[in-house]
């Protein structure tokens, strides 16, 4: 059975203008998201994960960021073409976002109840006040907070509880797509597991699709269906979780990341870090962007940008594999 496609991103390119030059944050990213599935965007700081997420909602800073190329097709409509005021109807209603830091993404001077009500009110103008209140209470209950706490302010909640409130806000209008930007990075391990499990249950219950932005392979393994590994603004490897965690073929960067992680199940004397640093987005190297740190680099890598090599849907952007196919 062919799965329904909810979101298609084609050749998305985002640049930031800065005083020192142009930062190439996202370079030619393409992916598809099926209905009800979770896609993981995984990579290190500055890889362009959050920029990709913000582009979908058109929340990039207007004065510095520019989408120079590409299409973001959501349910058959290119989000980059529709007028601003129509975008605010989609934002929060059909696509919503969970931000990384629950300490800063809530407004400290409003009660959590009223913050959840706001998006319900804005997107459902026909509802009466008691109905909105009821819906907000329902949302709080859904994320495991008793509705009696609706009149509390964010500072009265712990980090994990705040993130639950943020999730309640994001889900309040039954969105079809939720973009979660490092939703559990600021939380403790036991709380992280609680919150992720709750998100997983809600996702299944409502058939919501999700883009999970994270740097943590553990989170990816436990929550995602498909995975895109991002490096210097490019997707260098894409596949199902099985492809990424169980296949032997990988991009050297993905392999490097796995070797950098201390393994819980076996003892390693020494970790094998990836040498060097991520390239500066203002001065990206020619050819493969990873070639400066790659242990397998050969001449072609330094000049020619590698294409996606397709192994039955498992894509790897690396010259090492072009010989094989």
Partner 1 sequence: MEPFIKTVGLKKYFKTPSGQLHAVDNVNLEIARGTTLGVVGESGCGKSTLGRTILNLLPATGGQIYFEGEDITKPSKKRLFALRKEMQIIFQDPYASLDPRMSIREIISEPLIVYKEVKGQALYDRVSELMDTVGIARRMENYFPHELDGGRRQRIGVARALALNPKFIVCDEPVSALDVSIQAQILNLLMDLQKERKLTYMFITHDLSVVKHISDEIAVMYLGECVEKAPKEELFKNPKHPYTQALLNAILEADLKTSLAEKSIIEGEVTSPINPKPGCRFASRCKYCMEECLSDNILLEECGKNHFVACIKAQE
Question: According to CB under 8 A, which one of 45, 85, 128, 146 is a site residue for partner 1?
Answer: 45
Binding of residue 247 to partner 1 (CB under 8 A): no
| DSSP state at residue 91 | B
Cα 322 to Cα 239, 258, 316: the distances in Å are: 17, 23, 9
3-state secondary structure of 156: helix
Binding of residue 218 to partner 1 (CB under 8 A): yes
Nearer to partner 1, 85 or 190 (CB): 190
Binding of residue 241 to partner 1 (CB under 8 A): yes
Closest contact distance (angstroms) between CB of 201 and partner 1 is 8
Q: Are 9 and 31 in contact (CB under 8 A)?
A: yes
Binding of residue 156 to partner 1 (CB under 8 A): no
- What residues numbered 260-289 form the site for partner 1, per CB under 8 A? 260-265, 268, 270-274, 277
Q: Are 220 and 296 in contact (CB under 8 A)?
A: no
Residues 6+ apart with CB under 8 A from 265: none
Binding of residue 245 to partner 1 (CB under 8 A): yes
Nearer to partner 1, 9 or 47 (CB): 47
Binding of residue 232 to partner 1 (CB under 8 A): no
Burial 137-151 (b: 16+ CB within 10 A, else e): bebbebbebeeeebe
Nearer to partner 1, 146 or 190 (CB): 190
Specify the residue for token string 């008691």: 130
Nearer to partner 1, 64 or 263 (CB): 263
Helices 159-171 and 129-142: crossing angle, nearest 10°? Answer: 130
Query: Interacting stretch for partner 1, rule CB under 8 A, among 22-30, 66-74, 101-109, 216-224?
Result: 216-224
Binding of residue 115 to partner 1 (CB under 8 A): no
Residues 6+ apart with CB under 8 A from 83: none
Q: Which residues bind partner 1 (CB under 8 A)?
A: 44-45, 158-161, 188-194, 196-197, 200, 215-223, 241-242, 245-246, 256-265, 268, 270-274, 277
């Amino acid at each position: 059975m062919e799965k329904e496609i909810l979101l298609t991103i084609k050749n998305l390119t985002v640049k930031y203008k800065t005083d020192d030059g142009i930062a190439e944050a996202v370079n030619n990213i393409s992916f598809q998201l099926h209905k009800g599935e979770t896609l993981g965007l995984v990579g290190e700081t500055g890889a362009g994960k959050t920029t990709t997420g913000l582009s979908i909602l058109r929340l990039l800073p207007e004065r510095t960021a520019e989408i120079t190329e590409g299409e973001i097709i959501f349910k058959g409509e290119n989000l980059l073409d529709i007028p601003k005021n129509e975008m605010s109807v989609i934002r929060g209603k059909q696509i919503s976002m969970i931000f990384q830091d629950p300490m800063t993404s809530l407004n400290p001077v409003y009660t959590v109840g009223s913050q959840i009500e706001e998006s319900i009110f804005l997107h459902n103008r026909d509802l009466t006040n008691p109905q909105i209140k009821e819906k907000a209470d329902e949302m709080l209950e859904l994320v495991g907070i008793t509705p009696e706490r609706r009149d509390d302010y964010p500072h009265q909640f712990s980090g994990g509880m705040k993130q639950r409130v943020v999730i309640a806000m994001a889900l309040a209008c039954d969105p079809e797509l939720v973009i979660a930007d490092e939703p559990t990075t600021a939380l403790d391990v036991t709380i992280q597991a609680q919150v992720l499990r709750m998100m997983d249950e809600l996702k299944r219950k409502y058939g919501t699709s999700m883009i999970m932005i994270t740097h943590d392979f553990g989170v990816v393994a436990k929550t995602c269906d498909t995975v895109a590994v991002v490096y210097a603004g490019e997707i260098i490897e894409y596949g199902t979780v099985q492809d990424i965690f169980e296949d032997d073929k990988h991009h050297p960067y993905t392999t490097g990341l796995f070797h950098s992680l201390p393994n819980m199940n076996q003892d390693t004397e020494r970790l094998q870090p990836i040498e060097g640093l991520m390239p500066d987005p203002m001065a990206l190297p020619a050819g493969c962007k990873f070639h400066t740190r790659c242990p397998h680099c050969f001449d072609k890598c330094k000049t020619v940008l590698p294409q996606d090599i397709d192994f039955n849907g498992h894509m790897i952007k690396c010259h090492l594999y072009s010989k094989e196919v």
